């Protein structure tokens, strides 16, 4: 062991000591889970787990999923070797809040991560801490964390093998996948691991937007004119939207720069290239899993923190509850244990489901008060009973979305405009049914679901609007 | 504390924009005996832009490319790249590529090692990896990204011709259907002087367009792709080594404070 490795392990021990300094209630939970973990679980357990994170990936960006604008051999491999969900939602379409939910199984408001750059509330354990305490997996992390620091060598519960470069995906992801390559090449096959490979791309579209805001006189690369993708079917937007959405849109670069159609198309073309970039880096990790002999024994999960506007509703980036920002890829692969090449178009899934699902695969009880459910039986094809609904938060805890099998309901604090969409007949979310009396009972039903969901949450009083939500609807 | 005002750059990075954003204040002169097909060493500073004028634009590493002519059929490129990440973790790439003497500098044989240096300045052996590849003579339509830095210097400034190839990025990642073509000449205004720069553009899967900017002597001065730039700078290595040292010291101080 070299000195640096020793330092990292020491860092991990410090983190574990910090973790044990939890409130007494949480310590009691630990003890309970430790007993549970000691039981023989009959379900098979993957030798290793790799959780791959992308940043800002629109769900429709995988060639094998039908996106013909991109070449994504790695994502295709993952998709065809396992189960992918098409109705998978982030718990919050903003970086840090979304990540807090994935790594804890608790809502971002419960985690106290209602905006970017906040740490997870200390009494809520993260995935690394929980696995370190209750499993024999060694826990490793590479890449973007953002809770609170974007790139850091100090992540509670994880040995950080690589940090990253502040804010930039291209170089950052290349270096990060090389670190994963080295890790997998050198890792002994006898020692189980949980590795989080957290990529930055296709987030570089944010820099692209700032560097291409001004509407040019012509296409910067006229050679690309015939290759530009068309605009999405739901490019137009309803003028009677909640103010929050209008404000977000008008503050974005396309409106500041008064973009023409070609510039919108060029933006979409550029975003697809960023997808291909991260796909190649993911491919390096997948290839190395195979070359190192780990692949057959490894459960691979891929998701993204949130989606990307891509011109739907003339939006760019994230922070809205429309599907382009709120829906994210969610892929699971474990050859021989998870159905192969199955696209689940009906089950509702959430970032909140990842923590309980991984605990289920690891044969341990998850922390208490999980807001999501294990997807394991759905992945195995032994059950079709999943979530009846999923909830997503947004905008500094001022917005909520409830997605049921048929509808999506969106509401914001201090905004009289609510939104209700028929997701089966209007998946592009173009016709707001909230004010249509024929849908009043459906609206009321969704308000009730949200009210009941909110009543169970344990949101710190310091989180903005923590009380408002309990009484809003 | 008042929030720092940030102005969106708004327009793509070009050599003139690099000057505007203080990423370039001078360019090393091209010596009279510079010959693209001779022996030379170029140092590039790797600079990234966050999209704002005032903040978030940093040097993050350097790339050194050494060309050594070996025979009429092949030549050698030695690659050394260091990228400094947060908390003073540095990725160090060393590569040796035997290139065919064709327009793309197609690889014949290559070796690459990737190492990570921790904040204590020591190599993290658990993250090291090595690759080795050999291409048959029929592989002439494949290019390695670093080799293109050499190849563009040998191309004629001609809008009528273009090259089509598949990219083997970092000697590992396969990116298909690339095209490299000459765009034209643009004046660079810096220090009251105007220098004509010639631009080649590379497009293809898995990348945003790369622009290769060369002077009249065919020396590659800058490579720009969206928010990152490789800028020819004889002092690049010293600048980055100095910044890396400062980052290590800062990290140590931070750790000490945390303890």
CATH number for the domain that contains residue A191: 3.40.720.10
Closest CA to B15 of B224, B237, B200, B254: B224
The C-alpha angle with vertex B188 and arms to B183 and B193, in degrees rounded to 5, equals: 150
Residue A78 lies in a domain: yes
pTM of the model: 0.93
Residue A36 lies in a domain: yes
Domain that holds residue A115: 3-207+263-384
Question: Rounded to 5 degrees, what are φ and ψ at B14?
Answer: -130, 170
Count: domains in chain A: 1
- With beta carbons less than 8 A apart as the criterion, state whether B215 and B221 touch: yes
A346 touching chain B per CB within 8 A:
no
A388 vs A293: CA distance, rounded Å:
39
B52 touching chain A per CB within 8 A:
yes
Q: What's the pLDDT score for residue A473?
A: 63
Would you state the structure tokens that stand for residue A152, as one six-digit string?
């850091």
A271 touching chain B per CB within 8 A:
no
| A381 Cα to chain B: minimum distance (Å) | 34
Residue B195 lies in a domain: yes
Q: Do A71 and B176 touch (CB under 8 A)?
A: yes
- With beta carbons less than 8 A apart as the criterion, state whether A143 and A198 touch: yes
Q: Do B129 and A209 touch (CB under 8 A)?
A: no
Q: In this complex, which of A5, A175, A270 lies closest to B126 when CB atoms are compared?
A: A5
Find tokens 């009941």 and name the residue.
A452
For A60, A78, A226, A333, the CA distances from A324, given in Å and listed in that order, are 9, 22, 25, 24
Q: What's the pLDDT score for residue B3?
A: 62
B257 touching chain A per CB within 8 A:
no
Residue A7 lies in a domain: yes
Q: What's the pLDDT score for residue B135?
A: 92
Predicted complex: ipTM over 0.95: yes
Residue A468 lies in a domain: no
Domain that holds residue B160: 43-258
Q: Do A164 and B86 touch (CB under 8 A)?
A: yes
Residues in chain A predicted with pLDDT less than 70, given as ranges, are 1-41, 166-167, 472-473
pLDDT above 70: residue B2: no
Q: What's the pLDDT score for residue A423?
A: 98
For A:207-236, CB contacts with B below 8 A are 207-214, 216, 220-221, 223-224
B173 touching chain A per CB within 8 A:
yes
- For residue A145, the chain B residue with the least C-alpha distance is B86
pLDDT above 70: residue B44: yes
- With beta carbons less than 8 A apart as the criterion, state whether B154 and B40 touch: no
Question: Rounded to 5 degrees, what are φ and ψ at A314?
Answer: 55, 40
A383 vs A317: CA distance, rounded Å:
35
For B:190-219, CB contacts with A below 8 A are 201, 203, 205-209
Residue B12 lies in a domain: no
Residue B13 lies in a domain: no
Residue A324 lies in a domain: yes
- With beta carbons less than 8 A apart as the criterion, state whether B206 and A273 touch: yes
Q: What's the pLDDT score for residue B254?
A: 87
For B:93-112, CB contacts with A below 8 A are none
Question: Rounded to 5 degrees, what are φ and ψ at A411?
Answer: -145, 145
Closest CA to B247 of B58, B22, B13: B58
For A:86-105, CB contacts with B below 8 A are none
Residue A336 lies in a domain: yes
Count of A–B CB contacts within 8 Å?
A: 177
| B191 Cα to chain A: minimum distance (Å) | 24
Closest CA to B185 of B149, B158, B152, B210: B158
Residue B238 lies in a domain: yes
Residues in chain B: 259
A60 touching chain B per CB within 8 A:
no
Residue A344 lies in a domain: yes
B26 vs A170: CA distance, rounded Å:
26
- With beta carbons less than 8 A apart as the criterion, state whether B240 and B62 touch: yes
Residue B60 lies in a domain: yes
B7 touching chain A per CB within 8 A:
no
Residue A445 lies in a domain: no
Q: In this complex, which of B11, B114, B125 lies closest to A2 when CB atoms are compared?
A: B125
Q: What's the pLDDT score for residue A167?
A: 59
A35 touching chain B per CB within 8 A:
no
């Amino acid at each position: 062991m070299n000195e640096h490795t020793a330092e990292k392990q020491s860092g991990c021990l410090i983190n574990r000591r910090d973790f044990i300094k939890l409130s007494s209630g949480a310590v009691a939970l630990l003890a309970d889970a430790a007993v549970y973990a000691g039981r023989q679980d009959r379900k098979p357990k993957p030798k290793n787990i790799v959780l791959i994170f992308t940043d800002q990936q629109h769900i429709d960006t995988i060639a094998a999923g039908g996106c013909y604008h991109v070449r994504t051999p790695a994502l295709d491999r993952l998709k065809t070797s396992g189960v992918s969900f098409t109705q998978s939602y982030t718990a919050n379409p903003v970086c840090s809040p979304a990540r807090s939910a994935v790594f804890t199984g608790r809502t971002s408001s419960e985690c106290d991560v209602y905006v970017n750059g906040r740490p997870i509330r200390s009494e809520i354990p993260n995935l690394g801490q929980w696995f370190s305490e209750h499993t024999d997996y060694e826990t490793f992390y590479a890449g973007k964390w953002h809770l609170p620091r974007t790139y850091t060598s100090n992540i509670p519960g994880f040995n950080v093998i690589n940090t990253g470069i502040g804010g930039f995906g291209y170089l950052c992801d290349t270096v990060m996948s090389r670190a994963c390559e080295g890790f997998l090449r050198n890792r002994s096959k006898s020692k189980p691991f949980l590795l989080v490979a957290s990529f930055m791309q296709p987030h570089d579209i944010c820099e692209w937007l700032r560097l291409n805001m001004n509407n040019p006189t012509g296409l910067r690369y006229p050679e690309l004119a015939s290759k530009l993708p068309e605009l999405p079917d739901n490019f137009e937007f309803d003028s009677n939207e909640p103010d929050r959405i209008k404000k977000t849109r008008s503050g974005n670069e396309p409106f500041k720069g008064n973009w023409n159609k070609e510039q919108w198309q060029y933006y979409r073309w550029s975003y697809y290239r960023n997808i291909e970039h991260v796909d190649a880096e993911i491919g390096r990790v997948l290839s190395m899993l195979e070359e190192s002999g780990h692949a057959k024994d490894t459960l691979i999960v891929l998701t993204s923190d949130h989606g990307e506007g891509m011109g739907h509703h003339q939006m760019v980036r994230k922070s809205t509850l429309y599907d382009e920002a709120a829906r994210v890829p969610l892929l699971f692969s474990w050859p021989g244990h998870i159905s192969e090449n199955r696209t689940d178009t009906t089950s509702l899934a959430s970032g909140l489901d990842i923590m309980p699902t991984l605990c289920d695969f690891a044969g341990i009880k998850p922390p208490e008060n999980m807001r999501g459910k294990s997807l394991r039986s759905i992945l195995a094809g032994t059950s079709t009973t999943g979530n009846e609904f999923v909830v997503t938060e947004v905008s500094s805890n001022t917005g909520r979305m409830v997605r049921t099998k048929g509808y999506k309901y969106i509401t914001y604090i201090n905004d009289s405009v609510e939104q209700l969409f028929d997701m089966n007949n209007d998946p592009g979310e173009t016709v707001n049914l909230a004010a249509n009396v024929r849908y009043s009972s459906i609206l009321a039903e969704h308000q009730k679901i949200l009210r009941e969901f909110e009543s169970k949450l344990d949101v710190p009083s310091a989180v903005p609007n923590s009380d408002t939500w309990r009484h809003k609807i | 504390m008042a929030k720092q005002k940030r102005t969106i750059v708004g327009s793509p990075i070009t050599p003139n924009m690099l000057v505007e954003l203080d990423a370039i204040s001078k360019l090393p002169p091209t010596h009279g005996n510079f010959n693209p097909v001779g022996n030379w060493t170029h140092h590039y500073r790797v600079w990234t832009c966050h999209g704002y004028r005032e903040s978030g634009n940093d040097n993050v590493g350097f790339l050194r490319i050494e060309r050594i002519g070996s025979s009429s059929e092949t030549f050698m490129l030695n690659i050394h790249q260091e990228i400094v990440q947060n908390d003073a973790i540095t990725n160090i790439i060393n590569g040796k590529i035997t290139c065919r003497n064709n327009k793309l500098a197609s690889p014949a044989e290559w070796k690459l090692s990737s190492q990570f240096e921790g904040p204590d300045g020591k190599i993290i052996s658990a993250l090291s990896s090595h690759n080795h590849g050999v291409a048959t003579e029929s592989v002439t339509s494949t290019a390695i990204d670093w080799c293109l830095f050499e190849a563009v210097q040998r191309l004629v400034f001609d809008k009528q011709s273009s090259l089509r190839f598949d990219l083997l990025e970092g000697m590992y990642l396969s990116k298909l259907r690339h095209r490299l073509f000459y765009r034209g000449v643009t004046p660079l205004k810096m220090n009251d002087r105007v220098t004509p720069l010639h631009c080649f553009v590379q497009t293809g899967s898995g990348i945003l367009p790369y622009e290769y900017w060369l002077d009249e002597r065919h020396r590659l001065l800058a490579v720009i792709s969206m928010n990152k730039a490789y800028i020819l700078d004889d002092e690049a290595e010293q600048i980055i080594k100095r910044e890396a040292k400062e980052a290590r010291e800062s990290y140590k101080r931070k750790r000490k404070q945390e303890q």
